[in-house]
Amino acid sequence: MRRILRTEGAWLHDDEGSAILDAISSWWVITHGHRHPLIMKAIREACDSFDQIIFAEYTHEPAEELAKGLLAIAPEGLAHVFYSDSGSTCVEVALKMALGYFHNIGEPRSRIVVMEHSYHGDTIGTMSAGERGVFNAAYQSLLFSVDQVPFPLPGHEQNTLDAFEQLCRSGQVAALLIEPLVLGAGGMLMYPASLLTELKRIAEKYGTLLIADEVMTGWGRTGTLFACDQAGITPDILCTSKGLTGGALPLAATLCCPQIFDAHLSTDRTKTFFHSSSYTANPIACAAGLANLEVWKNEPVHARIRSLEAMHRERLERFAIDPRFSNIRQTGTIVALDLSVSASGYLSDAGPKLRAFFRSRNLLIRPLGNVIYLMTPYCVDETDLDRAYGAIDEAADMLAVGVR
C-alpha cells in the first residue's frame, strides 16, 4: 500500500516523494483532474453554510439548482431527479422506479433484462442484475433472477436484438438495464451506438422501460456528455454518479421521465416511492456538482476530450498488428486492449503481475485480468500518455519473458 499525501491534476503524490500518474481516474471518477480549483472553492464555500441536511420535507438551494442544471443538459424528455449517494444506489433506485411504475399503473411486470458481462454495482439488487461469478457467488442465495441477452459481438449484433425482442414479447419485461456503449468492469467491452438505438426502439414497441446506467459512461467518457447522446435516444431512466461532482465527492442522481414520476404521485400513500438514504442530496456534494456544471459550461472540456481522443487514437496505432495484443478498441476517451496470454479473464495471473509492474513505474493502471485499459482525467498531456503507453509496451515484454 502506498500512502498518498496530496493530489493535483492527473497526479497522486505519496509519502516517499513519488508522483504517480492516475491513468484510471481513481476508479473512473476524476474527470477534469484532481482538486479542480473551481470545484474545491465551491466545497469550501458550502462548508461555511452547510453540513448534512435531511432531504425529506426540507430542501436547499444546492440540490435545487443542481437538479435544474442536470435536466438542462440531460437527454431531452427527462424531467425529474432523485438523489442518492453512489452508483450502486442510483441503479437500485432505477430498478425500484421501474417496478414501482408498473405496479402503480396496475400492470405488474416483474422481469429485468440485462446484457451479458454487465456490472451495475455491489448492492443486492445491482449484483442480481450483474454478471454472476466469483465476486457474488457467496451471496447467490440473496440474489434474484434476471433475463440476459448476449453481448453484441461484431457481426452478431442482430442476435442481441432478436433475443431482447423475444423476451419483450412475453409482456413481463419491466425494463432493460444497460451500460450504454461500454461495459466497464465486464472488460471494457464496446458496442456501436446503432445497437443502443435499436434496443430503445424495441423497448418502446413493447412498452418496456430502458434504464441507462451512465455511472461510468457519463460526463464525457465516451466522447459525448452522455453515451446515450450518440444513439440519439432518451432513456426512460438515467443513472449518473462518479463524474457528477468531477469525482471530488460521492453523489448520485437517478433521472426519470414524467410518466414514471406521475405514477408515484398520488394521495394514495401506498403508491409512494419508498426509498431513502441518510445522505441524500448532501448540500456540500451538490455544491461540488454545481461547480462541475460550471466547469463544463465555461471551460473547453469538449475540446479537451476531442484532443484526448485523438492522442489515444494515435498511440494505439503502435499495437494495431502487434501479436502480443488483441481486440484493440476505443470509445471516446476510454481505450482497452487484451494482452495475449494463455489464461485470460478477470482472474488471469497476468493481472497481479501487471498491476505490480505499473506500480513500480509510478503508474496507477489496474488491468481487468489480462485487459489493460486507460481512462485518464481530461487534463493529461501527450507526455503523460507517452509514459503510460511506453509502460504498456514494456509490460507486454516483461510478461513474455516471465519477469516478475
Structural domains of the chain, with CATH: 4-32+300-400 (3.90.1150.10), 39-298 (3.40.640.10)
pLDDT tens-digit map of 136-178:
999 999 999 999 999 999 999 999 999 999 999 999 999 999 9
Q: Taking residues 369-391, report their average pLDDT.
A: 97
Q: Taking residues 377-401, report their average pLDDT.
A: 92
Q: Taking residues 216-220, report their average pLDDT.
A: 98
d(CA 87, CA 50): 24
**DSSP classification of residue 142:** G
Q: Taking residues 278-306, report their average pLDDT.
A: 97
Instruction: Tell me what pLDDT residue 404 has.
Output: 38
**CA-based end-to-end distance of the chain:** 18
Give the predicted TM-score (pTM) of the model.
0.96
Alpha helices in 274-381 (DSSP H): 283-298, 301-316, 350-360
d(CA 269, CA 264): 9
Q: Taking residues 364-387, report their average pLDDT.
A: 97
E strands in 332-368: 334-339, 363-364
E strands in 156-291: 173-178, 182-183, 189-190, 209-213, 237-240, 252-256
Kindly indicate the confidence band of residue 343, based on its pLDDT and cuts at 50, 70 and 90: confident
Q: Taking residues 272-291, report their average pLDDT.
A: 94
Q: What is the mean pLDDT of the chain?
A: 95
Is it the case that residue 403 has pLDDT exceeding 50? no
Is it the case that residue 9 has pLDDT exceeding 90? yes
Is it the case that residue 331 has pLDDT exceeding 60? yes
Of 339, 319, 337, 332, nearest to 376 by C-alpha is 332
Q: Taking residues 45-64, report their average pLDDT.
A: 96
pLDDT tens-digit map of 67-100:
999 999 999 999 999 999 999 999 999 999 999 9
For residues 8 and 382, the answer to whether their CB atoms sit within 8 Å is no
Instruction: Tell me what pLDDT residue 398 has.
Output: 84
d(CA 70, CA 239): 12
pLDDT tens-digit map of 14-45:
999 999 999 999 999 999 999 999 999 999 99
Contacts of residue 297, Cβ cutoff 8 Å, sequence gap at least 6: none
Give the sign of the dihedral formed by CA 155, CA 330, CA 344, CA 403: positive
CA distances from 134 to 147, 199, 262, 346, 355 (A): 19, 29, 40, 10, 20
Q: Taking residues 214-241, report their average pLDDT.
A: 98
For residues 91 and 127, the answer to whether their CB atoms sit within 8 Å is no
d(CA 74, CA 177): 18
Is it the case that residue 401 has pLDDT exceeding 60? no
For residues 264 and 275, the answer to whether their CB atoms sit within 8 Å is no
Q: Is 264 exposed, middle or buried (0-12, 13-18, 19+ CB in 10 A)?
A: middle
Instruction: Tell me what pLDDT residue 1 has.
Output: 86
Q: For residue 285, give the C-alpha cell.
A: 456534494
Kindly indicate the confidence band of residue 135, based on its pLDDT and cuts at 50, 70 and 90: confident
Beta-strand pair 80-84/252-256? antiparallel
User: Packing angle between helix 37-47 and helix 283-298, nearest 10 degrees?
Assistant: 150
Instruction: Tell me what pLDDT residue 108 has.
Output: 87
Is it the case that residue 330 has pLDDT exceeding 90? yes
Q: What is the DSSP string of 54-109?
A: --SS---HHHHHHHHHHHHHSPTT--EEEEESSHHHHHHHHHHHHHHHHHHTT---
